[in-house]
Amino acid sequence: MSAVLIENVHKSFGDLEVLKGVSLSVEAGQVVAIIGRSGSGKSTLLRCVNGLEAIQSGRISVAGHAMSQDAKALRELRKDVGIVFQSYNLFPHITVGENIMLAPRIAKGLDPADVKKRATLVLEQVGLLEKFDAYPDNLSGGQQQRVAIARSLAMQPKVMLFDEVTSALDPELTGEVLTVMENLAKDGMTMLLVTHEMSFARKVADITVFMHQGKIWEHGPSQSLFTNPQTQELKAFLGASLH
Amino acid sequence: MNRFKFEAVWAEFDTILAGVGLTIVLSISAIILGSILAILLSALRRIGGRWVGILIDAYVELMRNTPFLIQLFMVFFGLPLIGIRMSGDMAALLAMTLNLGAYASEIIRAGVDSVHKSQLEAGESLALTRMQVFRYVILKPAIARVWPALTSQFVLMMLASSICSFIAVRELSGVAAIVEQDTFRSFEVYIIVTLIYLVLALSLKTFLLWLGKRIFPNLSGLARIEAKGGAV
Amino acid sequence: MNSFGWPEFFFILRSAGWTLLLTAVAFLIGGALGAALAIMRLSANRVLSGFASGYILTIQSIPVLMVLFMSYYGLSLFGIRLPAFFAASLSLSIYVSAYLAEIWRGSIESVPFQQWEASSSLALTKGQQYRYVILPQAVRIALPPTVGFLVQLVKNTSIVSVVGFVELSRAGALVNQATFLPFQVFSVVAAIYFVICFPLSRLSRHLEKVMNVGRSH
């Protein structure tokens, strides 16, 4: 059974149709990169997968949950699907540790001692254990993003979504985040990532999907997609990305 | 509903109308004079030295941290003692102008401070004097940006004109008291007067916002500074 | 005609105590009402949010004096004649509730939408989002304007002198009538208001600066 199944999804914002019949299947343990121009619909597609955007038609099922806009069902789904945002979105009024422990404690109702243990574990996994009691304000962008990843990991998700997570970072800070993501991939996490980092996609993603004008224009194994683009649009996109 | 006797109040309608008229005249005059005062103070801040700034700050803090009623009493009861005789209406206008001038100058100051330094440098590099830079490069964008906040303050001042009834000025609230004494129909008088104020406030707000669009046509390009819970 | 001596001064000072009491009572009651109104205003229920909207818009578009008269004469319609202090407190509470509701609603709406997205993506219920993520941040945002509004409240207590209640302003008016020394009397009154309000104004500005520093990453 697929970890993520997207079937003929249509999504509009008012009169503007942004997703025009997108279908995609992601197996457990697979890493799928989604690339494309701004406006191609890639971020919207990702946000549909955890229900932040509602779809007009089609079906989505993630980690065994069927997508609906019912609040309770959505919460259950989100316990198994983590998302990391471009602007990290850490909670500024609590410490790093509290950020990570909040949802497991109150959404999953887990025991506080276990929650703290798990928080320590994931924070160590992203290499920031010493920042447990620091406030997000005092961290660099790259560090905040790694904390954001740890916060999602603490929920023990089956699928992780990454929405252009390095785009807002200074170039020298992207490396530390990409390393964490690469390690996650090696550990077998099912990952769906919208990214501009072409070399990362090529190296780490099993499958790459190229979106154009709300449709999946090309998709396939990353290696061959990057070396042998079939369509004009992908050729133009990759050509432009080189500069 | 038969306990209410609105007819008695309608009979005094021309009195009420006169009150509305005075409220409008006082408010518009205070808005115009207060704005001129505020702009003058802003200009003085820029070209004056450190002490000018401190004096203006003191004046503003005094106006903002004491009630308008006390300022009104000071003007009305105090000025005659140093030889300045004025009617209740004039005292009201003076107090409203001084009060509004202080608040408006602070609002405009926020607007002026928000004009980016690069604009000033561009102006000065074009050999404009400081006064010219102030007038042509700073002032208009500054006021455009704070127009919503200024509008809120102007409407607040119009509502505050009701306090002038305390010194027997026959604006709307003063007139309401007179009609109440004549007719003994307190509730009817005050609900009508309250509704009139409501209409006046909403009309003034709408008018000022429309005026803002006329005077500052390309506002959408500028960031707006919103009013922060107005004050008198 | 009296002179403006110590007895008069202490009379004025004691009346300032009433000003402070009125302020405190109106702030507490008005604050509780205002919080309820803010919640109503934000609710998805059209009737609730419409009512709250209308109430807030009305109170904010009429003079405080009218709020005072409407509540005073409105109550007397039902045969209720409250003593001056209670009538004044009630009217001021209504005035406070509308303004605080607006400030607090604005503060909640100022919390960036990304905080809503992040917390809902972590499977929190709406109540949990409000309690653990949104409200703590909204309270910080609300602090400067709330303190600033407190200054307005102190000044607006002067209105209640019209129903004969002897707070600071009325005390000043009475002493002025007795002594005909307006400069001295009202300077003292103004000074007392200033001593109460100025520190609050400064506090509000300080809180705002602290908040803006905290926000810039």
Q: DSSP letter string over C59-106?
A: HHTS-HHHHHHHHHHHHHHTT----HHHHHHHHHHHHHHHHHHHHHHH
Q: How far apart are the first and last CA of chain C?
A: 64
**pLDDT at residue B228 in the model:** 43
**Residues paired with A22 in a beta bridge:** A9
Mean pLDDT value across residues C46-55? 96
Domain that holds residue B57: 6-221
Q: What is the CATH number of the domain that holds B11?
A: 1.10.3720.10
Q: What is the CATH number of the domain that holds A141?
A: 3.40.50.300
**pLDDT at residue B218 in the model:** 65
pLDDT bucket at B224, cuts 50 / 70 / 90:
low
User: Which member of C65, C70, C77 has the closest CB to residue B173?
Assistant: C65
**Residues paired with A190 in a beta bridge:** A159
In a domain, B28, yes or no: yes
User: Which member of C62, C151, C169 has the closest CB to residue B197?
Assistant: C62
Chains A and B in direct contact, meaning 3 or more beta-carbon pairs closer than 8 angstroms? no
In a domain, B145, yes or no: yes
Q: What is the residue extent of each domain of chain C?
A: 6-215
- The topology under which CATH files domain C6-215 is MetI-like fold (1.10.3720)
Which phi and psi (to 5°) does residue B27 adopt?
-65, -50
* Mutation site, C1, C57, C60, C203, interface B, largest B CB count within 10 A: C60
Q: Determine whether the interchain pair C65/B194 forms a contact, defined as Cβ–Cβ distance below 8 Å.
A: no
Q: pLDDT tens for residues C194-212?
A: 999 999 999 999 998 888 7
Q: At B5, list the tokens.
A: 């006797």
Q: Determine whether the interchain pair B66/C183 forms a contact, defined as Cβ–Cβ distance below 8 Å.
A: no
**pLDDT at residue A11 in the model:** 96
* Mutation site, B9, B66, B85, interface C, largest C CB count within 10 A: B66
What are the angstrom distances between the C-alpha of A161 and each of A135, A169, B194, C200?
A: 24, 18, 57, 47
pLDDT bucket at C37, cuts 50 / 70 / 90:
very high
pLDDT bucket at C81, cuts 50 / 70 / 90:
confident
Number of domains making up chain B: 1
pLDDT bucket at B137, cuts 50 / 70 / 90:
confident
- 8 Å CB contact between C40 and C48: yes
Q: What residue ranges of chain A have pLDDT lower than 50?
A: none
Number of domains making up chain A: 1
In a domain, B232, yes or no: no
DSSP string, C157-170: GGGGGGGT--SHHH
What are the angstrom distances between the C-alpha of C202 and each of B106, B186, C151, C155, C194?
A: 15, 41, 10, 16, 12
For residues A163-195, b (16+ Cβ closer than 10 Å) or e, as one string?
bbbbeebeeebbebbbebbeebbeeebbbbbbb
**pLDDT at residue B231 in the model:** 55
CA distance, residue A237 to nearest chain C CA (Å): 30
Q: Is the model's pLDDT at B8 over the cut of 80?
A: no
Residue of chain B nearest C162, judged by CA positions: B166
CB contacts of B163 in chain C (<8 Å) are 63, 65, 159
Q: Determine whether the interchain pair B173/C149 forms a contact, defined as Cβ–Cβ distance below 8 Å.
A: no
Residue of chain C nearest B196, judged by CA positions: C62
For residues B164-198, b (16+ Cβ closer than 10 Å) or e, as one string?
bbbbebbbbbbbbbbbbeebebbbbbbbbbbebbb
- 8 Å CB contact between C24 and C96: no
Chain B residues whose C-beta is within 8 A of a chain C C-beta are 3, 61-62, 64-71, 73-74, 77-78, 81, 155, 159-163, 165-166, 173, 176, 186-187, 190-191, 193-194, 197-198, 201-202, 205, 228-229, 231-232
Chains sharing 3 or more CB pairs under 8 A with chain C: A, B
Put simply, whether C36 touches A (Cβ < 8 Å) is no
Q: Determine whether the interchain pair B229/C162 forms a contact, defined as Cβ–Cβ distance below 8 Å.
A: no
CA nearest to A209, candidates A220, A198, A199: A220
**Residues paired with A19 in a beta bridge:** A11
Q: Is the model's pLDDT at B222 over the cut of 60?
A: no
Full-model pTM: 0.85
CA nearest to B175, candidates B34, B41, B17: B17
Mean pLDDT value across residues B92-104? 97
Which phi and psi (to 5°) does residue A131 adopt?
-95, 15
Separation of alpha carbons A20 and A5, rounded Å:
16
**pLDDT at residue C217 in the model:** 34
Q: Determine whether the interchain pair A155/C118 forms a contact, defined as Cβ–Cβ distance below 8 Å.
A: no
In a domain, B228, yes or no: no
- 8 Å CB contact between A112 and A155: no
User: Which member of B78, B159, B232 has the closest CB to residue C182?
Assistant: B78
Give me the percent of chain B exceeding a pLDDT of 90.
59
User: Which member of A71, A79, A89 has the closest CB to residue C118?
Assistant: A89
Sign of the C-alpha dihedral computed for residues A53, A59, A62 and A68 taken in this order: positive
CA distance, residue A34 to nearest chain C CA (Å): 20
- 8 Å CB contact between A164 and A33: no
Q: Determine whether the interchain pair A155/C122 forms a contact, defined as Cβ–Cβ distance below 8 Å.
A: yes
Q: What size, in residues, is chain A?
A: 243
Q: pLDDT tens for residues B162-196?
A: 999 999 999 999 999 999 888 888 888 999 999 99
**pLDDT at residue C216 in the model:** 42
Average model confidence (pLDDT) across chain C: 92
Chain A residues whose C-beta is within 8 A of a chain C C-beta are 50, 52, 71, 74-76, 78-79, 82-83, 85, 87, 89-94, 102-103, 106-108, 137, 151-152, 155
CA distance, residue A223 to nearest chain C CA (Å): 32
Helix or strand holding residue C132 (H, E)? none
Q: Is the model's pLDDT at B232 over the cut of 50?
A: yes
- 8 Å CB contact between C129 and C119: yes
Separation of alpha carbons B86 and B103, rounded Å:
24
Chains sharing 3 or more CB pairs under 8 A with chain B: C
CA nearest to A228, candidates A190, A200, A202: A202
Q: Determine whether the interchain pair A106/C132 forms a contact, defined as Cβ–Cβ distance below 8 Å.
A: yes
Chains sharing 3 or more CB pairs under 8 A with chain A: C
pLDDT bucket at B131, cuts 50 / 70 / 90:
confident
Which residues lie below 8 Å from residue A63, measured CB to CB, with a gap of 6+? A3, A4, A77, A80, A81, A157, A158, A159
Separation of alpha carbons B35 and B209, rounded Å:
16
Mean pLDDT value across residues C169-189? 94
Q: Is the model's pLDDT at C73 over the cut of 70?
A: yes
DSSP string, C146-215: HHHHHHHHHHHGGGGGGGT--SHHHHHHHHHHHH--HHHHHHHHHHHHHHHHHHHHHHHHHHHHHHHHHH
Enter the DSSP assignment of C122: T
SS3 assignment for chain A: CCCEEEEEEEEEECCEEEEEEEEEEECCCCEEEEEECCCCCHHHHHHHHCCCCCCCEEEEEECCEECCCCHHHHHHHHHHEEEECCCCCCCCCCCHHHHHHHHHHHCCCCCHHHHHHHHHHHHHHCCCHHHCCCCHHHCCHHHHHHHHHHHHHCCCCCEEEEECCCCCCCHHHHHHHHHHHHHHHHCCCEEEEECCCHHHHHHHCCEEEEEECCEEEEEEEHHHHHHCCCCHHHHHHHHHHCC
CB contacts of C214 in chain A (<8 Å) are 92, 137
**Residues paired with A193 in a beta bridge:** A33, A162
**pLDDT at residue C214 in the model:** 57
Q: Determine whether the interchain pair C115/A107 forms a contact, defined as Cβ–Cβ distance below 8 Å.
A: no
CA distance, residue C198 to nearest chain A CA (Å): 29
- Comparison of pLDDT for B94 and A2, the residue scoring more: B94
Separation of alpha carbons C17 and B230, rounded Å:
26
Domain that holds residue A174: 4-241
Q: Determine whether the interchain pair C214/A137 forms a contact, defined as Cβ–Cβ distance below 8 Å.
A: yes
**pLDDT at residue B225 in the model:** 54
CA distance, residue C67 to nearest chain B CA (Å): 8
- Comparison of pLDDT for B140 and A145, the residue scoring more: A145
